[in-house]
Chain A
């Protein structure tokens, strides 16, 4: 069963760039109709889709964050990464990586990492 694991700093200073990596295990990031995704959840709030990437490098971002977001993939390491620039306290959240499958008339986030809490504070 494919597993996802987030890693990265838990504390980022305001105006700096948040950087997280998701490692995919027990499966190849380069196979299947999958898009490798980032989501976040502010404390006590709902879920927000940040964006996703296909292993070919095609990216799709939420317009609300598009100017600050970059998602990349490293197929040799079976990893994909998130960079969010110019962070503020409003970017403090739990960040999840997830697999999004898209085939025929079905598409959903079917596998999730456990999440990593990122706090923006000086």
Chain B
């Protein structure tokens, strides 16, 4: 199985901050990397697919980059509605695996 490791596990930030979350795969996955946002009591929501493509309807302050084993999710200016947990997920091979999550808190 491909292990996905996110860092940090949690972070504290303020509205307007630039936030960067990293995800590392245990082996190369090209750009088969997706990012999800999950708010408490809600299902995950797809934000970024194929490492850097913005899902329809997702604000442009979210962006993704990387290839191979190292990836980043950037929120350029944190908004109140962005406080949530973020997960990376690899689609390179089966079983599909997720990172452990990064909780973005005030």
Taking A107-B91, A108-B91, A110-B55 as contacts, is the C-beta distance between A46 and B98 under 8 angstroms? yes
A109 near B46: Cβ-Cβ < 8 Å:
yes
Which applies to chain B's interface (DSSP): helix, strand, loop or mixed? loop
Which applies to chain A's interface (DSSP): helix, strand, loop or mixed? strand
B43 near A114: Cβ-Cβ < 8 Å:
yes
Q: A94 CB to closest chain B CB, in angstroms?
A: 9
Give the residues in chain A near B89, CB-CB below 8 Å.
47, 108-109
Please, how many angstroms separate the alpha-carbon atoms of A32 and B34 in the complex? 20
Interface size for A (C-beta < 8 A) is 22
B94 near A112: Cβ-Cβ < 8 Å:
no
Please, how many angstroms separate the alpha-carbon atoms of A107 and B55 in the complex? 12
A108 near B49: Cβ-Cβ < 8 Å:
yes
**A–B pairs, 15, beta carbons within 8 Å:** A46-B98, A46-B100, A47-B87, A49-B96, A49-B98, A60-B94, A62-B96, A63-B95, A96-B43, A98-B43, A106-B53, A107-B32, A108-B50, A112-B43, A114-B42
